[in-house]
Structures are given as structure tokens and as C-alpha cells.
Amino acid sequence: MSQQLNYKVEGEGHTIILIHGLFGNLDNLGLLARDLRQDHQVISIDLRNHGQSFQSDQHNYQLLAQDVYELLNSLALTSYTLIGHSMGGKVAMKVAELAKQKVEKLIVLDMAPVAYTQSKHDNVFNGLKAVMAQKPTSRKQALEILAEHIELEGVRQFLGKSLYNSGSHLEWRFNVTSLWDNYWQILGWEPIEKIETPTLFIKGGESDYLTADHQADLQKQFANAKAHVIANTGHWLHAEKPAEVLRAIRKYIA
């Protein structure tokens, strides 16, 4: 299978790269893409082990960033802005380190450049594995299985977008086994060498992924960083408050 990432190109103008988070795919930042493609070229990417991209038993930020870097080089892009959410934010930070000369601006949605020490997805993995074990034949059935493990309907609906019919039953597009086996790599982080790239961290006001405690780590790795808080929103800020997130993005890249 080809080792190039699956991607989608829309619009024309200065290039913006959109990188989704864990369990996502290239449609996840679609609300942002639909707006930004009006006056930019927007490239949305499926990371390895997600969407229509290749599957691998290895999943760490060095490799994830290398995948993206190689794709962008193959597209002969000379400059671009990177936007990443959650795990995709960490990938974007690593790409910015690899492609210092080409990244005009970096925007990170609700993620800090740190290793997290607490598992945040046990219930999600339990739900995903239950679906794999029970092999549902309809979406309704799959979502009912998820509901036994995952309280938030929004999270179940989000995960449900990655179900597809394998012929006999529904399966996940993302590689649950690899993501589970590499989960501590996904939570983890190897600090990058300090970069000068102008960087905006957009935080969900009610999220604990990016807090005041992370400020020292930010400053060590990003010489030119600003933060913007979207009030009354959690980790899924771009889905909860797309207009506010877009306003912050547009103001920053204007």
C-alpha cells in the first residue's frame, strides 16, 4: 500500500494545512476548511492510522511529522500555514521544526507541547474495542454499543463518522490496535528545538489540555508564541464555537 498520506485540496491562494486529532480524519476540521477555502488553498490530511491513509504498527510524532513533511514536499509547496487540533497540534509543531523555512505561521488548537501523564481515552478505547468484538451490522447498533462505554453523545457521533461497512459488518477506519499500543506515544512529547515561527495557541476555556502550568514549556520551544482563549468551550472548540475559532485564526493570519 502507498505510504503517502491521503489528502484533499480545496480553494486557491496562500496554502493552509489542516491536521486532525486522535480518532479523526480529514473532514474533522471541515467547518474551518469551508470558510478558509474561500480565499486560501486548503489541504486537509488524513494522518497515518486514520481515515483513508495507510495503517502502520508505529505511531509517534517523529514519524507522523515526517509523513506530513514528505507529502508537503511532494506537492512542491514553498510556504504554508499549519493548523492542527489536539494530536494534530503536536504533529503540526513537529512539522514546524522540520520545515522551519517553509512554515509562515503555526496555529495549535487546544494542545500543549508537553507529555501528558494521565490517560484520557480509556472509555473511548473500551467502546471502540466493544464494537470490534460485537461486529455490528448497522450504525444504530454500533452507536448503542458505544453508548455503554461513552457518556457524551457528541463523542459517539464524532467516532461514528469513522465507521464503514466492510461487507459483513461495520469496522473502524482508524487503526484501533495501533493507536492503543502506541497510546503513551500519543500522550507523550519530545521537546522541539526552539523555533522562531509565529505561533498561536488557541485554548478552549474549559479544557485542561493547555493550562497556565504549561507556559514555561511553551516559552522554551516557541520564541514567538501568543495564546488566545475561547470562553465556555472545551477541547472540541472548533466544533463547539467555529465562528469564534475562525475569527481568531483569520485575525492571526491576516
CA distances from 33 to 157, 250, 253 (A): 20, 12, 14
* DSSP annotation string for 11-73: S-SSEEEEE--TT--TTTTHHHHHHHTTTSEEEEEPPTTSTTS---S---HHHHHHHHHHHHH
CA distances from 191 to 147, 166, 220 (A): 37, 40, 9
Q: Which residues are catalytic?
A: 86, 235
Cell numbers of 20, please? Answer: 486532525
The SS3 assignment for 166 reads: coil
Residue 160 forms beta bridges with which residues?
none
Q: 205-230 b/e with 16+ CB inside 10 Å = b? A: eebebbeeebeeebeebbeebeebeb
Residue for cell digits 466492510?
A: 166
